[in-house]
Amino acid sequence: MPASSSPRLSIGSLSRATGIPVETLRTWEARYGFPEPERKPSGHRVYTAASVPRLRRIAAALSRGHRASQCVTASDDELDALLGVTPGGPAAAMPATTASAVADLGAMLEAVSVFDAERLTRLLLDDWARLGPMGFLTERAGPLVQHVGHEWSAGRLQISHEHFVSERLTDVLRTLRLPFDARAGGPLVVFATLPGEHHGLGLQMAALVASVGGWRVLYLGTEVPPEQVAATAAETGARAVALSVSAVSAGPESIARLTWLREALPARVALFVGGEGAPGATPGIDTLASFERFGQRLGILSSAR
């Protein structure tokens, strides 16, 4: 459909169609001239729906760690190139087809079964180099944890195997994050879980996503009182707080703590919550369904500074 006959959207509708906050769209319009508005006879701005695919591609490029000044002003060919490269590392997005990227987990499960830390570490690092950050998390680290949990539930592995994988993978994630942390110059994001939530592996994965995107990470760990999270965010001038909630700790008490924390944080501080126990739509809380979505939201937030 040519742009001239494309439907027109309000800025709110454009925001909902792309996942990009209204304030960010306005900032890009003022700084970079895109998205370019048209004016109705009433004087209200409207935007062509034809701009939606490009805005979604820009958001995807931001999630790979590129700057808004690069992405918003890029030509289509330049945007294609940005979508294929992550600054400082391999491509961060999952390939369009993951069939060739999903390798057999058998070798890793075999290493787990005999507590072979050296082999498991080597296999993880090999896949990090092959798949890139986001592919590593979504196609290797996450599925590995799920498979081990399934094998434990089926009685084929012991709880000691599950703990072994968790500790080994945590060590690997911290190691992988170090070089990104060393050169991070973006805004600060505080990572923690609230009381009653002792699972921190998903939080470590999310911290890696932030570091790859150039954010500075302040990792507080698990079971931190919400008043301490709020105080730390205020003291450090954090731009965002990221929490993980597992299905085990989900419930009314968890929602009450999250609601209290949202009210205690300044409005400018984004509150991200991920994990199987993350609440549904809650005012002021950005509930995340995937690491890729988290990276995208961080990229958009960073560009709106």
The residues of the chain that CATH labels 1.10.1660.10 are: 3-83
Angle between helices 252-264 and 226-236 (to 10 degrees): 30
The residues of the chain that CATH labels 3.40.50.280 are: 184-305
Alpha-helix runs per DSSP H in 19-97 = 22-32, 52-63, 68-71, 76-83
pLDDT tens-digit profile of 96-113?
323 333 345 788 989 999
Q: Are 152 and 182 within 8 A, CB to CB?
A: no
Work out the average pLDDT over 297-304. Answer: 84
What token pair was written down for 115? 């507590």
3-state secondary structure of 117: helix
Which among 90, 50, 75, 104 is positioned nearest to 212, based on CA atoms? 90
Backbone angles phi, psi at 141, to 5 degrees: -65, -50
What is 90-183's CATH number? 1.10.1240
What token pair was written down for 25? 């769209």
Tell me the average pLDDT of the chain. Answer: 85
Backbone angles phi, psi at 140, to 5 degrees: -125, -60
Work out the average pLDDT over 19-46. Answer: 85
pLDDT tens-digit profile of 131-140?
888 889 988 9
For position 305, what pLDDT does the model report? Answer: 61
Q: Kindly tell me if the per-residue pLDDT of 147 is higher than 60.
A: yes
What is 184-305's CATH number? 3.40.50.280
Domain 3-83 indexed as CATH 3.40.50.1980: no
What token pair was written down for 136? 């590593």
Which among 67, 20, 16 is positioned nearest to 214, based on CA atoms? 67
